[in-house]
């Protein structure tokens, strides 16, 4: 049987933790920083989490402070009285809360890309290559083929953030068809340790987020230039316009962009990119084309 004093301590500790998470999430929602941590599909659910969390915190606090000992719920396994054990268990919940509170809200950058490993191909692209121009052998690749048909006639293929990975995937799938096409895209600067000596190239990267930043995947395109790219530091946001040049590096087929114009830009409010449910429909909407 648990002593009422022990029960009150645990209820109060749990109440404070729940209240802390409720306030932290409410702060992220109010400050507009929630998108740094989760994808847009999850935001509607997370936005309302502070309400049930606060209600549970108030209920536990009421039981801990005002409930009579005779009616306290002693219906769980024996609660630990060890300060070290309790501190360890509750510390697992307090640590992410403290880190989120003390550290500044900021987007993932080159340091996170270095830890995760930068991919030079779209994470959404299937491995199979197509032999027939803009024709797909399966339903998965058919979306890339349909998108490629819409991208190819454009004078400049603009890689829009709303369908960023899908656009890269479509161009990779039909790399030879897009060779020499003009392209415009933006992203943050990432330099691999192995390419520090290459003054005329860099990687323009983005983070693809599915549900939250924990499952984010960094990927980008190699940008080359005839002139040394001096004065450009890691995590600088650039807009690059140039021509597509497919290459094979270390046995892997990749896309590169030979830069013709490079312009430094301000980091967008939403720096991540997300998978689109229907990239063809999204492209039509963004371009003002009727389905």
Q: What is the pLDDT of residue 213?
A: 81
**Mean pLDDT of all residues in the chain?**
82
Tell me what pLDDT residue 117 has: 62
Please name the residue that has the structure tokens 């890339």: 144
Report the alpha-carbon distance of residue 102 to residue 243 in Å, rounded: 44
Residues 96-115 pLDDT 10s: 888 888 877 777 766 666 66
Comparing C-alpha atoms, which of 13, 10, 19 is closest to residue 73? Answer: 10
pTM above 0.75, yes or no: no
Convert the pLDDT of each residue in 226-275 to its tens digit.
888 888 888 999 999 999 999 988 888 889 999 999 999 999 988 999 98
Assigned CATH for 110-287: 2.40.50.140
- Given a cut of 50, whether residue 85 has pLDDT beyond it is yes
* pLDDT tier at 130, thresholds 50, 70, 90: very low
Confidence class of residue 132 from pLDDT cuts 50, 70 and 90? Answer: very low
User: Contacts for 243-249 with beta carbons within 8 Å, 24 or more apart?
Assistant: 243/180, 243/181, 243/182, 243/183, 244/157, 244/171, 244/175, 244/178, 244/179, 244/180, 244/181, 244/182, 244/183, 245/179, 245/180, 246/175, 246/176, 246/178, 246/179, 247/222, 249/120
């Amino acid at each position: 049987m648990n002593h009422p004093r022990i029960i009150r301590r645990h209820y109060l500790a749990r109440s404070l933790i729940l209240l802390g998470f409720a306030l932290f999430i409410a702060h992220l929602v109010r400050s507009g920083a929630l998108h740094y941590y989760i994808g847009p599909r999850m935001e509607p659910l997370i936005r309302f989490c502070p309400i049930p969390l606060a209600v549970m915190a108030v209920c536990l606090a009421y039981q801990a402070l005002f409930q009579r000992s005779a009616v306290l719920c002693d219906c769980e396994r024996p609660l630990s009285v060890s300060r070290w054990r309790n501190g360890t268990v509750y510390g697992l919940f307090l640590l992410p809360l403290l880190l989120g509170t003390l550290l500044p809200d900021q987007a993932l950058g080159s340091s996170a890309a270095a830890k995760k490993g930068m991919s030079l191909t779209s994470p959404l692209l299937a491995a199979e290559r197509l032999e027939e121009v803009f024709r797909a052998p399966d339903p998965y690749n058919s979306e890339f083929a349909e998108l490629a048909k819409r991208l190819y006639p454009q004078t400049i293929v603009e890689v829009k953030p709303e369908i960023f990975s899908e656009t890269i995937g479509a161009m990779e799938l039909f790399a030879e068809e897009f060779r020499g096409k003009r392209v415009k895209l933006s992203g943050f600067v990432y330099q691999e340790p192995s390419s520090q000596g290459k003054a005329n190239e860099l990687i323009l990267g983005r983070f693809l987020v599915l549900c939250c930043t924990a499952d984010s995947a960094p990927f980008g395109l190699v940008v080359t230039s005839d002139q040394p790219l001096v004065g450009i530091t890691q995590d600088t946001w650039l807009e690059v316009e140039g021509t597509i040049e497919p290459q094979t590096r270390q046995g892997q087929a990749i896309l590169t962009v030979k830069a013709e114009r490079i312009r430094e830009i301000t980091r967008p409010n939403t720096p991540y990119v997300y998978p689109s449910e229907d990239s063809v429909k999204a492209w039509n909407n963004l371009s003002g084309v009727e389905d």
